[in-house]
Chains A and B, each alone.
Chain A
Amino acid sequence: MGLQMQSHGIQSMLKDGHKHLSGLDEAVLKNIDACKELSNITRTSLGPNGMNKMVINHLDKLFVTNDAATIVNELEVQHPAAKILVLAGKAQQEEIGDGANLTISFAGELLQNAEELIRMGLHPSEIISGYTKAINMTVETLEELVENGSETMDVRNKDQVLSRIRAAVASKQFGQEDTLCSLVADACIQVCPKNPANFNVDNVRVAKLLGGGLHNSTVVRGMVLKSDAVGSIKYIEKAKVAVFAGGVDSSATETKGTVLIHSAEQLENYSKTEEAKIEELIKSVADSGAKVIVSGAAVGEMALHFCERYKLMVLKISSKFELRRFCRTTGAVAMLKLSQPNPDDLGYVDSISVEEVGGVRVIIVMNEEGGNSVSTVVLRGSTDSILDDLERAVDDGVNTYKAMCRDSRIVPGAAATEIELAKRVKEFSYKETGLDQYAIAKFAESFEMVPKTLAENAGLNAMEIISSLYAEHASGNSKVGIDLEEGVCKDVSTLCVWDLYITKFFALKYAADAACTVLRVDQIIMAKPAGGPKRVQPAGPGMDED
């Protein structure tokens, strides 16, 4: 008899291959374990002295980076709980564009401490309520720690900008932050619109050109396109530009057309009318004063011929977005069909030149005067992975600039804020009477992770540093952080290491949210993994690299 008395319980009711985990040991602690593993991976990359990771993703692409967002993205984390942390990191990356590492590492630390509390006998719900209280307290405290006078800043003042993005860039490219920061600051300030809140990250482009070194990197007011001009004119100065989104060629009907020809004569005449038509169009463009034609699609042979004849420079930009940016740079309005442009629709460039940089032909579009809307950071480096990493650092810097345009408040960096928060939250925990005071205390302790990791990554004695930090803060010097180069504690206002308030705020909040979510789960029901090609079995507990 096949239909035996089924043992009751959920397992028997689910389809084959489903997994069901429940309870403290099976679900909560396992989840915490997985998250811990993940945060251990990212943690060593935290801060300026963080280690790089070499990640090879499923497409065999190699990444050498210490950018946590990239690492966890390429890891393709499978474990559901660890995935929650990854999602928190991603949310941070999307919201601010920086601080993903802090989010993941801090959430991991919170969970690790939660594990100790669970082993002590606390119920997850008590830990959650404690953590929630603690994060609310933290947010309040964080606001108090904001540096006086930082609410207002001139986002066009390079020094002020530099002081704020330095820490963000330094944590990615330590030692090169001065060069990079000034590049980023220049590029950002250039394109900053009248109302800084409307700053668009998309307006700062990065062009990666192999060869040279970081010191060769420059900022171009305008765009750098990795292609060659179509025609033979390679250089032009102070010219008007006409942009055609639909391509530069003879027009075609949507419905299929056929040329009706009865005799050889007609054939000849037809080609002539065709030529005349295009000549007429190109001439009208040339007459309007344009010296450059930019096409969003193919450029016909015939059209090109006439462009050459009328001494028009022809560029082809096939990406729609790139074309849009080009329009922004030059102030041109893209026209759909080849026709005579209105004077208003024409854009202006200071110069367009085709140059050979590192064996690649690039078009450099400069617009010094009129258009301050797009700028490009030209990065030079010896390998692709170095360039990628530099790009990520620049991206972080630009995102920080954007965040600062929205909220320019800053808090002391170099772990000074974390220690101060730890101190204050701990004091807060003493005032609580319930069981959640233990959770709050642990939350406070979790902040120590940041100075500890910074010190460890720099090869310093973490315990010593933390205790001296605490001592300094206890005596009221709330701005004392770690000077990683000298390995001592110093006031950060002399070091000039500042973090944006808003980055810290979101990172801590997302981390606490993620940790609480993981703790709230007490049952996991996993469906059978969907079909498809067999994956290579992961080595670790199902959440290492794939």
Chain B
Amino acid sequence: MSIRMLNPNAEVLNKSAALHMNINAAKGLQDVLKSNLGPKGTIKMLVGGAGDIKLTKDGNTLLKEMQIQNPTAIMIARTATAQDDISGDGTTSTVIFIGELMKQSERYIDEGMHPRVLVDGFEIAKRATLQFLEKFKTVVVMGNEPDKEILKMVARTTLRTKLYEALADQLTDIVVNAVLCIRNPEEAIDLFMVEIMHMRHKFDVDTRLVEGLVLDHGSRHPDMKRRAENCYILTCNVSLEYEKSEVNAGFFYSNAEQREAMVAAERRQVDERVNKIIELKNKVCSGNDNNFVVINQKGIDPPSLDLLARAGIIALRRAKRRNMERLVLACGGEAVNSVDDLTPDSLGWAGLVYEHILGEEKYTFIENVKNPYSCTILIKGPNDHTIAQIKDAVRDGLRAVKNTIEDESVVLGAGAFEVAARQYLINEVKKTVQGRAQLGVEAFANALLVVPKTLAENSGLDTQDVIIALTGAHDQGNVVGLNQHTGEPIDPQMEGIFDNYSVKRQIINSGPVIASQLLLVDEVIRAGRNMRNQISS
């Protein structure tokens, strides 16, 4: 072979061998992820190199943690990751859809069809499906007051595929309220304004939404209050600690008096800044029992802390930058970068600030704020893997709600869309296509069925029965999905099962592209260093 002449060590797979390698890899990955799909999917346990445990049902997490090596599988995994980046959900669906496309193509290719023809069919089918999706979607108008019910349904559909039912239902409310809290109709939703904080404490069902902020650190002075009501919040980014000068400076002194003076002078600058804050505190807090809380992004050194504590101020140091933004949104006021012109206007307000200590860790809760535009989802769980699992799910749930608000439309779930699209492709699109590309359309249409099929399989139902029942109902003009418990067709609208429009569109868009690319590969060449070691594996 020619490549051998160029590089005698290179490895080559060509023609059908290459194609089959790709198909097998895609099918293999599908097999792995298939059992994750849907609310009845099973949980996988991932054990990291250091023996750490992760439990997940989320396709994206799984792909990230699995460290896949096969080149084809990596390509598919990347598509799935892209899916997650764009829409936050649907990774498992992407992978199994690609796998199914390859599986369907395999049949035709084995019968002697050229991959190019199939790919042409895929392209036609993809375009038709996207058009169909536009018609099929349910438009939801998001005015100033979004319909909470529909958001809840979308969030519930997503969360139930990641967590067990009782917990998912509880998180649904939390997630929807969190997004609505930070939503400002004029601006795009920034999900970073929802802080996700976790505490290893109690049970997973104790997870809750805090209207306000939870910081994962506490005050560093033993004499500061642990709990304060009616607090002014000063958000600042001012260094309250002595900083060494940049130049290499030194003092010369000849007696202890002079040295004492030096020590005092060194502190003066910092003390002045602290005193300005104390001044402000005295100004706003005199005559009432309001409290004053300073949250600083930079450090506060012990002498300054001491001064603040004596003035009855609660001071937190080294807050996260992101939390500074959130604080301003949650409590009002503005973040100050200098203490020179402090005014009461720059102060935020919170009804309750308290510290919670869990073993070694301290948490500061800032609650009862007015008009918050930022909030915190406080995840609790008895151990790290539960927390990680909830964290991933919450992230996906938030994305789902955000997508719905931005798309202003949803798609019927429980496999209803897939079955409807398939029927549309077979009954209408296929007839308009000339020649062998028809088979490509057919393969694509059948591949869509993988979603309801897998849902049925994971629920322990008979796949064929389910598909026949579903397609039958669709032919009669009813849009139905799959009831996971009984295997009977149901109306997803009645059950409140809705998927994100953008998730579905992304799946339909990216799936066929990657599948086409893989089908059109006719040679796999592995060359370069280190291949001896790898190949022997």
Contact = CB atoms under 8 A, between A and B. Distances in A.
Contacts of B51: 78, 80, 83, 529
Per CB-CB distance, the 6 closest pairs between chain A and chain B, nearest first, are: A530-B49, A2-B535, A91-B382, A87-B383, A8-B28, A257-B251
Contacts of B20: 5
B390 to A, nearest CB: 13
Interface stretch (A164-172, A375-383, A515-523): A515-523
A513 B68 contact: no
A6 B526 CA distance: 15
A87 B52 CA distance: 11
Nearest to A525: B46
Given A6-B25, A260-B254, A254 B382 contact: no
A1 B303 contact: no
Nearest to B525: A3
Contacts of B521: none
Contacts, number: 202
B45 interface: yes
A1 B303 CA distance: 72
Interface string B118-131: 00000000000000
Contacts of A276: 256
A25 interface: no
Interface string A350-394: 000000000000000000000000000000000000000000000
B43 A277 contact: no
30 contacts: A1-B12, A2-B535, A3-B524, A5-B21, A13-B68, A14-B66, A27-B45, A80-B47, A84-B53, A87-B53, A91-B382, A91-B383, A246-B302, A253-B266, A257-B259, A259-B252, A259-B254, A260-B254, A277-B257, A333-B223, A336-B303, A513-B382, A520-B42, A520-B164, A521-B55, A523-B35, A523-B42, A523-B45, A529-B50, A530-B48
Interface of A: 1-3, 5-10, 12-16, 18, 27, 78, 80-81, 83-84, 87-88, 90-91, 94-95, 123, 125, 245-246, 250-261, 266, 269-270, 273-274, 276-277, 324, 327, 333-334, 336-337, 509-510, 513, 517, 520-530
Contact of B250 (A256, A327, A520): A256
Nearest to B265: A253
Interface string B355-370: 0001100000000000
A339 B67 CA distance: 61
Interface stretch (B109-117, B139-147, B197-205, B283-291): B197-205
B530 to A, nearest CB: 12
A333 B242 CA distance: 23
B66 A525 contact: yes
A274 B256 contact: yes
A253 B259 contact: yes
Nearest to B264: A251
Nearest to B381: A91
Given A87-B382, A527-B46, 15 more contacts: A3-B11, A80-B45, A87-B384, A88-B382, A257-B251, A259-B253, A261-B254, A273-B257, A336-B306, A522-B44, A523-B42, A524-B46, A524-B47, A525-B47, A526-B47
Interface string B257-273: 10110110010000000
Contacts of B535: 2-3
B460 A123 contact: yes
Contacts of A95: 201-202, 382
Contacts of B17: 5
Interface string B1-41: 00000000001110001001100110111011001000010
Contacts of A6: 21, 24-25, 28, 70
